Amino acid sequence: MPWQVLKIPADSSTAAALSDALMDLGALSVSIEDAHAGTDAEQPIFGEPGCLAEAWNDSQVSALFETDADIAAILQQACAVAAIQSLPPYQIEQLAEQDWVRLTQSQFDPIRISSRLWIVPSWHAAPDAAAINLVLDPGLAFGTGSHPTTRLCLQWLGANLRGGETVLDYGCGSGILAIAAKKLGAGEVIGIDIDPQAVQAARDNAARNDVDAHFYLPDAAPGAQYAVVIANILSNPLKVLAPMLASRVQNGGRIVLSGILAEQAEEMRGLYGEWFDMHPAVIEEGWACLSGIRR
């Protein structure tokens, strides 16, 4: 079945209200994008947990409808609900039916982390059967190995784990770092996340990879100390969580921090330097990974 895609220009004051109204009026999905994406005028937006990111000055709202939907009438109602005085110019495009599963899968290939570590979607054969292969599919939880922050943490684990270490993955998302640590020879491994969907996804991924790692919501997690604590989240929560994360690392143990923009690295090194002898940041594509040893 084909679909209709409605595209409407909007600004920062109307985009959210318009998208909500379109969803209420029967849109199958709605997205808000930078109207200048892919051009020199593209406006990067960064948001931290607990902080509202700014909206784009010039946005494009795209809404997906069934083929028989009366787009003009729906848009007129949506504008009235969103308090938009005049009907904006808009486009309607036809979207042909496709095999969305195959199309989505085609966008995700195995990812080589190092000579001995690969991330392999379940529909692919492992490129190197002799390597450590983590079977992980894109899903609801963050962490598929495609983002520099995840790759940096995986590379650290591959280079530094010697076997038998206890590991805490704080903000575990998909569980990829905990699962990798276990496959790389770590001893007891646990992951913690505030999102119940992430905890369930991590448990499912651990079972798929046949590893004995355990995942918890914060209040249910054991309060032990670990030889390695790794946290791939973002700078604001890393600042707030610094005393707690430091308290989870054994004396002589190591901390690994990522989700930090390169320009934030020195500030974060200084903050965690209260408890750790911090190493220089490792930078990839504008993102930093920090590590240190607990004094």
* CA distances for 133 relative to 70, 127, 155, 200, 267, angstroms: 49, 9, 14, 21, 35
Residues 47-86: tens digit of each pLDDT: 544 444 456 788 999 999 999 999 999 999 999 999 998 8
Over pLDDT 90: what percentage of the chain? 68
pLDDT attached to residue 199: 95
Please check the confidence at residue 275 and state whether its pLDDT lies above 90: yes
Please check the confidence at residue 108 and state whether its pLDDT lies above 70: no
What mean pLDDT, rounded, does the chain reach?
A: 88
Which homologous superfamily does the CATH classification assign to the domain defined by 108-294?
Vaccinia Virus protein VP39 (3.40.50.150)
* CA distances for 108 relative to 111, 136, 240, angstroms: 9, 11, 34
Identify the H or E element spanning 261: strand 249-261
Please check the confidence at residue 287 and state whether its pLDDT lies above 70: yes
Residues 138-186: tens digit of each pLDDT: 554 455 566 899 999 999 999 999 999 999 999 999 899 999 999 999 9
Beta bridge partners of 261: 287
Q: How confident is the model at residue 2 (pLDDT cuts 50, 70, 90)?
A: confident
**Per-domain residue ranges for the chain?**
3-97, 108-294
Lowest mean pLDDT, pick from 8-12, 29-33, 48-52, 218-222: 48-52
Q: How confident is the model at residue 135 (pLDDT cuts 50, 70, 90)?
A: confident
Lowest mean pLDDT, pick from 34-43, 128-137, 147-156, 219-228: 34-43
pLDDT attached to residue 137: 67
pLDDT attached to residue 112: 86
CA angle, 164 then 113 then 138, to 5°: 100
Residues in Cβ contact with 244 at an 8 Å cutoff, skipping those fewer than 6 apart: none
pLDDT attached to residue 97: 64
What is the value of pTM for the model shown?
0.65
SS (H, E, C) 59-74: EEEEEEEECCCCHHHH
Residues 20-58: tens digit of each pLDDT: 999 999 999 999 988 887 787 776 655 544 444 456 788
Options 3.30.930.10, 3.65.10.10, 1.10.420.10, 3.30.70.120; CATH of 3-97: 3.30.70.120
Closest of 132, 151, 148, 157 to residue 229, by C-alpha: 157
Over pLDDT 70: what percentage of the chain? 87
